[in-house]
Amino acid sequence: MSSPVAIVTGASSGIGAATARRLARAGFVVYGAARRADRLAELGDGVRPLVLDVTDDASMVAGVEQVLEEHGRVDVLVGNAGYGSYGSVEEVPLDEARRQLETNVIGLARMIQLVLPTMREQGSGRIINVSSMGGRFAGPFGGWYHASKFALEGLSDSLRAEVAPFGIRVSVVEPGAIKTEWGGIATDSAVEISGDGPYAARVRRMAKGLSSGIERIASSPDVVAKAIEHAATADRPRIRYAIGAGAKPATFAARVLPARVLDALVARGMG
């Protein structure tokens, strides 16, 4: 068989860029997909740029069609495109809430729909969805972000059972604190949306605590990329990978602690 083919969304920076490079070094034909062509050009390492917007259906259809025209198969889809929009549930505009869900959930689901017919015909494939430790528990001022990641977890669980008879494996990756642009985007949006209203004091404390905490303990994106490579290549990939600073203890605590205790710990951790 020729080299396996992988599509990595959100590949212009952070976890996506590290994953695209790592899979290329492992012998995959890798298409790094993102909206910004200039940043995709910086990937190097044999990664093929694929300009694709997960909020634009025509863009996604064209991107997958290009890969199939050039290689006739898709072996791995890494659904990594997404961002964190923070602010109180009361104050986040619903247009922003819709954009968060469209990017983090609906776009990912549409990419899955587009590659599944080929994977079923092949009788094989890997779908690796990048969630978050925030897909297992929720903290204040991240309601729509957590909603998107909780939805991604449930979607992945249903999908896993549906496609297993076709030889397709589904894994969820749950990063902890990682050195990416995510923290800055999340805290900036929280302060912009809720930094002057009734939640201002708490939001500003949370933003300060979140920024300093990520800077102090965060893991490299390559730690997550390594887990994704395992999910893409192992004979028996794990269903879930809790990986990076804080991910394993946090997801364990979410499973075993009473909700009130978990709430208190989350609030303390976020300042």
Any bridge partners for residue 174, and if so which?
Answer: 242
- Nearest of 53, 64, 52, 60 to residue 5 by alpha carbon: 64
Name the residues annotated as catalytic.
Answer: 145
* Residue 98 phi, psi (nearest 5): -65, -40
Order of strands, sheet of 125-130, starting from the edge strand that comes earlier in the sequence = 48-51, 29-34, 5-9, 76-79, 125-130, 168-175, 240-243
Contact 153, 135 (CB under 8 A): yes
Q: How many residues are recorded in the chain?
A: 271
- Nearest of 134, 271, 263, 144 to residue 203 by alpha carbon: 271
Q: Which two three-digit tokens encode residue 267?
A: 């609030």
Q: Which two three-digit tokens encode residue 36?
A: 């910004």
Question: What is the DSSP-derived secondary structure letter of residue 140?
Answer: T
The C-alpha angle with vertex 134 and arms to 132 and 135, in degrees rounded to 5, equals 75
**Separation between Cα atoms, residue 132 and residue 94, nearest integer Å:** 22
**Separation between Cα atoms, residue 165 and residue 34, nearest integer Å:** 31
The bridge status of strand 5-9 relative to strand 168-175 is unpaired
